[in-house]
Structure 1
Amino acid sequence: MSTNPLLTASMAPLLKRLTWPVMGGMLTLMSFNLVDTFFISLLGTQQLAAISFTFPVTFTLISLAIGLSIGTSAIIAKALGAGQTDTARADSLAALWLSAILVSILALLGYLLLEPLFFLLGATPEIFAYIERYMLIWLAGSILLVTPMVGNAILRAAGDTKIPSLVMAGSGVINAILDPILIFGIGPIPAMGISGAAIATVISWLAGFVFILYWLSVKRGLLTAWILPWGLFGQICRKILHIGLPAAGANMLTPVAMAILTAIMASYGPEAVAAFGVGARIESIASLVVLALSMTLPPVISQNFGASRFDRVKEAYQLCCRFVMFWQAGTYLILALLAYPIAAMFTDNADVASYLRWFIWLMPLAYGLQGIIILTNSSFNALHLPAKAVVLSVIRLFVCYVPLAWLGGVVFGVVGIFIGCILANLLTAAVAYYWFNRVQQRYLL
């Protein structure tokens, strides 16, 4: 009988044990991302708006890395669940090379299209000057971001969530320490402004890059070679991309939708864009548990899928959905009470503060529903059903999210955009939960 805890342990304690380390790492990382935003906000509203404009573009590249991580985790976890250790090792090496190649290509495209892309999003020439200083450095270092992300996915597929959490936390701490030094200068180090924020980020990625390669190769023995036969590499890439490309595509739809929303916000002025950008970073903290579960739930589902333990697949999904609804309700109450001090922390501009408070009072109402959508997407990918995850993302973002946000904006202005987003999450969550349960009945049970 298998002694693999992902296949045998009681589900609720197992998910708790796997998720807490991820939450700790993500909390540290995201907290320091907010610190990053805070220091940039001290430079001025234009610099804060510039960072907000970069979010859809940077998240596009990050989405590719996330998609490849999802594909990597799904195939490695299934192989480990079926007892195929050598296959998992080969898959790991191929995933690292594939992700580095694809992200490099996308970063080059971003560099070539930088100016027309951001002017299309609504950036003014003054704001673009700050965007360019940040993005050129960010894109140059992006390959250092993807390797730790995929490496962490490999470890999570094997049931190790502690080391990935340490990598995330360590990178966040390094970034937070370097931010004020490089942005404002100290001693012989000159003040670099928004460029310093980008350099601090790249240095933190470099630390994660070196550590994760060391851990995978020396400590875990998951990388026993650095080159694969071309035929085998191509075969594994097709397996990863079968899940990874749809997953990446589904994730890339989010920054496309965010870009459209940013353009809509830009019609209300840079203050609205700045508030929306800060709100998006607050959302990442408020959705911490959901994001952590979206990383720990897929290996559990994939390994039990590989071992034909379909009853455990159903149990894991429903436990997580119930939990996030209760958790996010409590999160909303805390944020609503702290709306004024949070807004004051990030800006002294009255318009930015007003928009940000409305964001905090409204958007978190739907974070539990958003959590169900995210968990359903990750569960579809874990079951090697990536097309369903893509369709769900399209429904959420382009059938519901963008149209309802635009309509809300037309009727009620910026506040109406937030109301439209809430309604979109409500409708999509209902579709997601119903659809996944139908899939379980048809394919699993």
Structure 2
Amino acid sequence: MQNNSSKKIDLLADPIPATLKKMTVPMLIGMITLMLFNLVDTFFVSLLGTDPLAAISFTFPVTFTVISLAIGLSIGTSAVIAKALGSGDLAQARFDGVVALIVSACFVAVLAFIGYLSIDYIFALLGASQTLMPYIHDYMAVWFIGSVILITPMIGNAVLRASGDTKTPSIIMGFAGIVNAILDPMLIFGFGPIPAMGIKGAAVASVIAWSSAVVLILYILISQKKLLSLDAGQQTFMRAARKILKIGVPAASANMLTPIAMAVMTAMVAKHGDTAVAAFGVGSRIESIACLVVLALSMTLPPFVSQNFGAGKIERVEEAYKTALKFILGWQLGIYLVLVASSYWLSRAFASDPHVIEVIQLFMWILPLGYGIQGIIILSNSSFNALHLPMNALLLSIVRLFIFYLPFAYLGNVIAGLEGLFIGAVIGNVFTAAIAYYWFTHSLVNVSKQNKKQECTV
């Protein structure tokens, strides 16, 4: 008799709440594991001294740009393959997976090559001093070369998620994180015959960890899951590539808007002094942890949406979307209450300066109140991509950040200072969430009408 726990998830038939839970929990565990090992990475570099730590901090905007492209392409991959699987075309899904791996590697290779040749120019533009440049060169020269390897497990995991498997990607993420954490101290400080490489060792450890993930993901996709095939069938390479890029490029563009908006937000906070910036930085790190469930759902809901969209089951798409929103609103309200209750201790754990403590507490009393509302925006955005409406998702990101979030924060700052800035940001998210919900549900109605017309013509 087959064990129910090992039964393959059927995104087209299984109960919706249970299915979303089964998909999201493994993804959440994988994300937490990866986050913990990234913290370990930063910790070991910090032991080298202030200059190496400052150098690696300068690399974050650049590496995030490449990773944003990779994430966007993985969103396009997941949406296209999940729709093909939902419509019952396994051969098309398998070929799409191969095309996604090739196209993504080419895009990242071109971006990495340009970045490699422009290291001095890019980091001088970012304000890095000549003292830090040797450290930045040591790290980024290796990282740019290795980024071509990074894309394969990201796209491979997207293929697995599209099939409804989120457990395997979480295991691969955790495995790569463990390899990285083991190699970090060995390569940074030296171990036996291995010479100390300093900050370059951190980059080498990451590349080796990614390489191990590549071997694992390709073995699983080709030998175990049989989700890749060179048989194009009725398709052409260019047609498959266009499908993926049609969603992937707008998704990547939307991802790249976030650091721009955060830079503007930080500049507004900076008007209140360095202590306010320090407190805002702490608050932002708390936010990334407090919103982990939202981010996990934003990766697991799209495959469900795309498969059922491909199968023409729009009523299941709507039910899953609304179920996810109800859960996130309740979950994030609980997170808000926990943060408010623990704000006194948390603020003192991160800071000793009275003003910094005060601003951290102010942050925790106001901004987390809107995390549930923000979740509606994030899930609507990812669901638009899953519904093959990538320009809607991109436009929603633009509307959120540059029509509501930043303008309302600026207005609040003018009226009531830092407290007004935080309140304005929450109000901006409320307006955007209302638009996102109306827009997505209205889009579902239109998609349903189109499907019925197609059925009538057939």
In structure 2, the partner of 1:385 is: 389
Q: How far apart, CA to CA, are the structure 2 residues paired with 1:416 and 1:141?
A: 44
- The offset of 1:444, in angstroms, is 2.4
Q: How far apart, CA to CA, are the structure 2 residues paired with 1:276 and 1:152?
A: 33
CA offsets, 1:48-96, max 9 Å, x none? 5554443333222111111111111111111111111111111010000
How does 1:113-192 map onto structure 2 within 5 Å? 113-123=118-128, 130-184=135-189, 192=197
How does 1:34-433 map onto structure 2 within 5 Å? 34-41=39-46, 50-123=55-128, 130-184=135-189, 192-225=197-230, 232-261=236-265, 279-339=283-343, 359-406=363-410, 418-433=422-437
In structure 1, the partner of 2:456 is: none
CA offsets, 1:150-197, max 9 Å, x none? 101111111111111111111222223333444455566565554443
Q: Retained in 2: the 8 A contact 1:38–1:346?
A: no
In structure 1, the partner of 2:452 is: none
SS in 2 for 1:223: coil
Q: How far apart, CA to CA, are the structure 2 residues paired with 1:434 and 1:152?
A: 31
Q: How far apart, CA to CA, are the structure 1 residues paired with 2:190 and 2:363?
A: 33
Distance change in 2, residues 1:46/1:346 (3 Å): farther
Structure 1 runs not aligned, ≥5 long: none
Distance change in 2, residues 1:265/1:148 (3 Å): farther
SS in 1 for 2:300: helix
- 1:19 lines up with 2:24 in the alignment: yes
- The offset of 1:110, in angstroms, is 2.7
Q: How far apart, CA to CA, are the structure 1 residues paired with 2:307 and 2:55?
A: 42
Moved more, 359-368 or 181-190: 181-190
Structure 1 length as normaliser, TM-score? 0.86
Distance change in 2, residues 1:338/1:190 (3 Å): farther
SS in 2 for 1:142: helix
Structure 2 length as normaliser, TM-score? 0.84
Amino acid of the structure 2 residue aligned with 1:310: I
Question: Aligned residue pairs: how many?
Answer: 442
Taking only the aligned residue pairs, the percentage that are identical comes to 57
Distance change in 2, residues 1:52/1:211 (3 Å): same
Moved more, 254-263 or 325-334: 254-263
- The offset of 1:45, in angstroms, is 6.2
Q: Retained in 2: the 8 A contact 1:122–1:266?
A: no
Distance change in 2, residues 1:416/1:180 (3 Å): farther
Q: Retained in 1: the 8 A contact 2:408–2:424?
A: yes
Distance change in 2, residues 1:106/1:263 (3 Å): farther
- The offset of 1:234, in angstroms, is 1.0
Amino acid of the structure 2 residue aligned with 1:424: G
Structure 2 runs not aligned, ≥5 long: 1-7, 450-458
Q: Could you say what the CA RMSD is over the residues aligned between the two structures, in angstroms?
A: 3.4
- The offset of 1:139, in angstroms, is 2.1
Amino acid of the structure 1 residue aligned with 2:425: C
Distance change in 2, residues 1:267/1:130 (3 Å): farther
SS in 1 for 2:12: helix
- The offset of 1:144, in angstroms, is 1.8
